[in-house]
Every structure is written in structure tokens, then in C-alpha cells.
Amino acid sequence: MKDSFKAIAMNENNPKWDNVISRILPLETRKNDIRSAFDRDYTRIIHSNAYRRLKHKTQVFFSPENDHICTRIEHVTHVESISYTIASYLGLNTELTKAISVGHDLGHSPFGHEGEKILSEISSRDLGISFWHEKNGLEFVDSIELLNGHDGYKNNLNLCYGIRDGIISHCGEIDENSLRPRDEFIDLQDYKYPNQYAPYTWEGCVVKISDKISYIGRDIEDAITLGILDNHLQELYDLLNFDSQEALNNSTIINYLVCDLCENSSPEHGLCFSKKAFDLMNKIKDFNYKHIYFSRRTRTSTKYFKLVINEIYDILKDCYDKENTLTNLNSLGKFYPKLTDGFYHFLENYCDFANREDLKLKNKIIFDISDEKDFSKAIISYISGMTDNFAMEMYNEIIKF
């Protein structure tokens, strides 16, 4: 029902307000700034390099020559659009959903979820912890991504708690048909695995559902465009027979699910679909896994992804030798100048060996490269921020003479 959530939207009257707008550190503001806290964070995110790199990161289909196939940056734009529609209709805070949406995939690795799995294998082996993009997204906005301030110095993004929470809580693999926010104001570092907690706000819940609505529809449209579903179109038409004569495309699927969600959600019952729509969404998800995500055509490139990511990691990890690590890294520059130079400058931003005043850095130091696990974690963070194209370029530099 329209505006049915307006009384519990995230605003100054909400009892969670002070927690939601809190930051790790105070954020410098201009006297003439006319933006809200959430709108400022939205701007900080879209001006970040991590956001810009999303345009060259795989969503599902690797390195498409077709410019109309969805990349990671288009995906976050779709999530922003869908969440805005839902939040606006229900009476929730659209500035908060917009900011969470554009930031929710900043921690995604190159090569989509396959790249994420490969980095998790490396992290589990060398650090004893898994790598997952929601947690990496929180680490990026808290500790990795830098932005020039009014004074010309670089500092961390320092986003509001509500947006940071939305990023780490956004896991779209939801199977329950009733989503509502948690009550606890937790330390977000307590997250140990994806989907461990519900988001802290209704707006975060909207983004979580919008993420799933976005990808299941667009992935089908892209697969049709690329011819991957040529032999399964009749099965898909039969599956999507929800009393509609509209064309089989992303718009039809999104419109049906968004309208159904808005009609069936309430503060009492949570954000939920009708049984018919919820069952359909799960059937579409199963169809996508069977014919798209696990298809031979889309999984053929996995071996290449493993080769690229592992070779970059191993080359850089071989430099580790306690106090001699930087010397080894510099020596490797004669063979792999772009890779080693890029990683060296990455380390300068987060370690204490560089002159931080000369580099105009005010962010926190997070790595001690004399510690082997810290050095491994730095490499994983560096790789996770790469675009597909840059990772391939680094691999090609490694193998050529």
C-alpha cells in the first residue's frame, strides 16, 4: 500500500536515527553544504575510483564485445532504480536507498563471482578466513578507498553507519519471503559470513531485495541477447506465464515483481511478495543457475580466471621476506614494471614506510608488510580492486618477454 512505511522511514523521528547517521570519525562539512548526510555519502561514493572501476568489472558475462551487455556498474544503477521505486512508493527514505545501492558492490572482485571464489580460496588458505564481496565492500569504504578532501589531503570515505550496514548486509541470496530489519546496533566487524544479519534499516532491506530483482531479470535478457538460451526459450516462456501478454524481457519481470512486492508488503508482515510471485522468483533463480550460471558457455572462462588471479598473487607474494620485502618488490620491477609499481604505490597509501605528508595522506594505516599475513591481505585487497581488463593486462605483462 502506498506510503504504508512512511511512519517508520529513516528520518529524524526514527529512534535509530542517531545510530544510522553516525560515522567512525567526524566528517568535515562546508558551511554552505545543502545536502543531507545520505546525499553526501551518495556523492562521495560516485566520485570514488572504486565506483568508476565497476564499469569494467564482469556482472555475469565476461568481456562481452556487445556494449549492451550488463556490467557491474549498470547492475548497481539498476538496483538504485528499483530500490528508489519501491522506497518511494512505500514512503521510505530514497536518499538512503540510493546511497546503499551505488555502494553495495564496491568490494566486488574482477571476473564476477568466479573471481570472488578464487580470492576466497587464496584467503582461506593463507589467512584462514574466507573472502566475500559484501565484507570486502565494507573494508573498501572503511579503509581502502580514498577521496580528496577540501584541504587536498586523501582520507577514507567515512560513510554513515546506515550505508555501511547496507553494504555488508546486502547479500541478495535471500530465500525467506518476509524481510524486516534487525533491532540490534552491532559492530559491523562482527559479521563472519554473508547474510548473517538482516540490515539495520527498512531501506537496507529494500536494497537487499532490489539486488535480487535486478539480477535475475537482467541476466535473462543478456543471455537471450547472447544466444545462450536459444534452446530453452519455450521452457522460459512456460515458466513466466503469469497472466501477462507482455514481451519476455527485463522490464516485464522487474515490473511484475516490484508491483507485487509493493502491494503485499506492510510494516506488520515485512517486505514480502505474494506466494505466487515468490515461487516464480525462486523458479527463475533455479532456471538461471541451470541454464546461465552453470552453463558450459559461461563457465568455460573459469580456468582462465584462476590462472590470472593466482599468477598475480603468487608473483607478488614471492616478494615477501620480512624487512627485505620492499627491496624484492623493487627488484622485480625490471620484469614486471606496471604490476610492481602499481602495487608499491598501493602499499604507500596504507603502510608507514612512505612520507605521508608528501603524499598528502590522512587515512589510517592498515598493513604492516613485515607481517606475512598482512602482506597477503594487502595483495588480496589490491587484486580485488582491479578491473577485468587491468587484471588481464597484469597477467599478460607477467607471461611476456
Question: What does the domain layout of the chain look like in residue ranges?
Answer: 6-106+145-298, 301-399
> By mean pLDDT, which of 109-113, 196-200, 216-220, 397-401 is the weakest?
216-220
7 alpha-carbon distance from chain centroid: 30
In this model, does residue 205 exceed pLDDT 90?
yes
Look at residue 173 and tell me whether its pLDDT is greater than 70: no
Torsion sign over Cα 33, 29, 162, 19 = negative
Buried b (16+ CB within 10 A) or exposed e, 185-197: eeebeebeebbeb
pLDDT of residue 28: 76
Q: Longest Cα pair distance anywhere in the chain, in angstroms?
A: 68
In the structure grid, which three cell numbers stand for residue 7, read together?
511512519
CATH number of 6-106+145-298: 1.10.3210.10
Indicate if the pLDDT at residue 360 is higher than 60: yes
Where helices occur in 169-201 by DSSP H, the ranges are none
Q: For 72-119, give the DSSP string.
A: HHHHHHHHHHHHHHHHHHHT--HHHHHHHHHHTTTTPPTTHHHHHHHH
Mean pLDDT, rounded, for 148-152 = 87
Mean pLDDT of the chain: 93
Sequence letter at residue 140 = F
Read off the pLDDT of each residue in 88-117 and give the average, rounded to a whole number: 97
> pLDDT of 243-280, one tens digit each?
555 666 778 889 999 999 999 999 999 999 999 999 99
